[in-house]
């Protein structure tokens, strides 16, 4: 029993090293089973688009689950996102390319797997698209979700002028 507690303590100490974005704020935590696994809900403001907040969900595995199932240093890639206008929209200098730009990143494993939110501007439809997915070193993940913010008809302040 002592070795189990020792292993749990080591695993917990490694988990505290996983990178977490400073701009995200945990606004919800829902327990899903008796082992201590949780679904966390973070509020993530877009650093270049004020007035937009994305709510991101992700699974946080407990130490008991990690010990029971192995794969100690990784959380699942099941994520969800919903972005909404939460104030006056002011758009700063954003990447207008098709690949967009990373808005948020958090660790889902000790080193390799990252949860990523990317913002893409759909110029033709005047819409901000937010894509959530996981990034892994060797295998990409097909698990993703999007949320959109239509700007049409909105009072939007473009700091550098609206793209033509």
For 90-118, the pLDDT digits (tens) are 999 999 999 999 998 765 444 555 778 89
Is the Cα torsion angle 11, 17, 19, 23 positive or negative in sign?
positive
Report the alpha-carbon distance of residue 147 to residue 114 in Å, rounded: 19
Residue 31 β-bridge partners: 38
pLDDT of 75 above 70: no
pTM for this model (two decimals)? 0.72
Percent helix, strand, coil in the chain, to 5, is 15, 45, 40
Contacts for 13 with CB less than 8 Å, ≥ 6 apart: none
């Amino acid at each position: 029993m002592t070795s189990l507690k020792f292993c749990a303590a080591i695993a917990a100490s490694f988990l505290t090293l996983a990178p977490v974005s400073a701009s995200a704020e945990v606004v919800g935590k829902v327990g899903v089973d008796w082992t201590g696994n949780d679904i966390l809900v973070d509020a993530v403001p877009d650093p270049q688009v004020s007035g937009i907040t994305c709510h991101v969900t992700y699974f946080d595995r407990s130490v008991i689950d990690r010990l029971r199932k192995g794969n100690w240093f990784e959380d699942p890639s099941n994520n969800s996102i919903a972005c909404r206008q939460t104030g006056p929209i002011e758009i700063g200098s954003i990447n207008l390319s098709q690949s967009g730009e990373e808005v948020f990143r958090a660790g889902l494993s000790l080193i390799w797997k990252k949860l990523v939110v990317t913002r893409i501007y759909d110029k033709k439809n005047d819409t901000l698209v937010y894509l959530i997915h996981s990034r892994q070193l060797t295998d990409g993940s097909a698990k993703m979700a999007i949320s959109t913010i239509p700007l049409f008809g909105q009072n939007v302040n473009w700091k550098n002028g609206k793209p033509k």
